[in-house]
Structure 1
Amino acid sequence: MMSFFFILLLLVASVMALTFIGKKLPKTYVAASRIRLSAPLKTVWDIINDFDSYPTWRPGLSRTERGPDIDGLPSWYEICFRHSRVHFRVVERKPPSLLITKIVGDDLPLSGTWIYELEEDGDGTLLTITERDNIHNPLLRFFDRFVLCYYGAMDVYLIALAIKLGDSARPQHLSLKIDDSDKSA
């Protein structure tokens, strides 16, 4: 029984320590990654705009559900492990070169946008994703910084997209800007 309480105390102390460190980390960051894909621009555009097919190629995504249009643009829900359901929407779409998506909802542990910029590159496509996130939850801030790294979600997405296209390309990290002005929880 004593070992159970010791383990519980250790677990609580660990969570408190990670939360304390997370509170010291900046809430906001902007990171950008690029990948050169051998597929034509229209093919890449069609895949990244087909939200219904995301589960067929994105790891960890069990299904998507169509959401209501918002300001005339589509929205969808991504259902991951243990039925977590996250609502996303298209904020701006300029085929075939610009797509901006955003997490929808108040009181979420984070808010953010992804800006997809596509350009022809010879017979292939250069895809740049810029992620702008504001992480409200200090524990999530810790994990995003030290476990996932700021490029983690983009890397998984870009590598999975390359694999879907039968490409061996890997992402290149372009920039990272961390906003230190507001570290408060």
Structure 2
Amino acid sequence: MASSSVSTALCTLLVLIPTVPLLTYVIGLLLPASHIVSRKRTFAGISQADLWHILVDVQNYPTWRPRVTGIDITENTTTNDTENNTEQQHGGDRIVFQENNTRNRTIVVIHVHQILHSRLLRILQEIPTFSGSWTFELDELSLASVDGEAVSLKITQQGVIKKPMLRVMHMLILGLHRRIDLFLNDLERKLKQDQQGSSAVEGRGQVTQSTITNIGANVAPSEVIEDTDKKQSSTSLLPEVKDKQPPMEKPSSLQQHDLDASINNINHNNGWDMISEIYERAPLSASSSTSSLKKQQ
């Protein structure tokens, strides 16, 4: 009995192993090869022109798309003319580049600027598993619940999956919009990091300004005036000293008459002669002259 049950299980496995892939292949044949799916997301705090610049700046894709390891631009016919916002032809502004991913695969991509700041066409070169294009549609919004600017981004994928088994995997398991969701998630992460970085810079600037304001507020006005007075006094010390010296008062006519009379009486009584006093007096020594000068001072 045991041997018969084991043999039955083995036979069942031998039948199911080739049946499952065959059934999957048949289901894939019944599914349509082409598909159209779209995803839409709103980004706040960014202008339509800034979001457009991020999408067309393919050289910086590896900095915010983790699955992209490198970009090699092979053709670039874009212009810097932003004044003309009319619809552009496919032969106009476009960029062709090779996108290298983490699976060591290289995909050739063509970006065509159909309408400046509004419509971008991304065409993928045909590969064995997938071929098709993405259409980016940007629309600026004014939402009451959002402070500042807001932009809605809609990505429409028109693709063709040629292999039937891959159709089943993408349509029933992975989802046809998987690549779009990955791209939008990476873009949203980048915008949040940029906004946090700019907020941090503004916060540091506000802290520095408030610190300077507090320092200025803590300095008393009297200290500022005193410091200014010190600077002025240091630069104009000598003139102030001269100005502070009291002016010599001239004697009145009555005082001058009394003084002259006193001198005449002294000269008459003592026989003092000014000429003889100057020429006949013995010369003073250096020490005595110095001491007399000090006393006079």
SS in 2 for 1:87: strand
Q: 1:57 to 1:16 in 2, by over 3 A?
A: farther
Give the Cα separation in 2 of the matches to 1:143 and 1:53. Answer: 31
SS in 2 for 1:67: strand
SS in 1 for 2:26: helix
CA shift digits 1:1-22 (9 cap, x unpaired): xxxxxx9x98776544433332
The structure with the greater share of residues assigned to strand is 1
Structure having greater relative contact order (Cα 8 Å, sep ≥ 6): 1
Q: Which residue of 1 aligns with 2:189?
A: 163
SS in 1 for 2:75: coil
Superposition deviation, residue 87 in structure 1: 0.7
RMSD between aligned residues: 2.5
Superposition deviation, residue 155 in structure 1: 0.8
Give the Cα separation in 2 of the matches to 1:63 and 1:11. Answer: 40
Give the Cα separation in 2 of the matches to 1:146 and 1:11. Answer: 20
| AA matched with 2:65 | R
Q: Which residue of 2 aligns with 1:154?
A: 180
Q: How many residues align?
A: 160
Q: Unpaired segments of 5 or more residues in structure 1?
A: 1-6, 168-185
Superposition deviation, residue 91 in structure 1: 3.4
Q: 1:12 to 1:75 in 2, by over 3 A?
A: farther
- Match for 2:34 among 6, 10, 28? 28
The structure with the greater share of residues assigned to helix is 2
SS in 2 for 1:83: coil
Give the percent of matched residue pairs that are identical in Structure 1 and Structure 2.
Answer: 25
Are 2:153 and 1:117 aligned? no
Q: 1:15 to 1:61 in 2, by over 3 A?
A: farther
TM-score (norm 1): 0.75
Superposition deviation, residue 135 in structure 1: 1.0
**Could you tell which deviates more after superposition, 11-20 or 140-149?**
11-20
Q: Which residue of 1 aligns with 2:159?
A: 133
SS in 2 for 1:82: coil
TM-score (norm 2): 0.49
Q: Unpaired segments of 5 or more residues in structure 2?
A: 1-12, 78-90, 143-148, 194-297
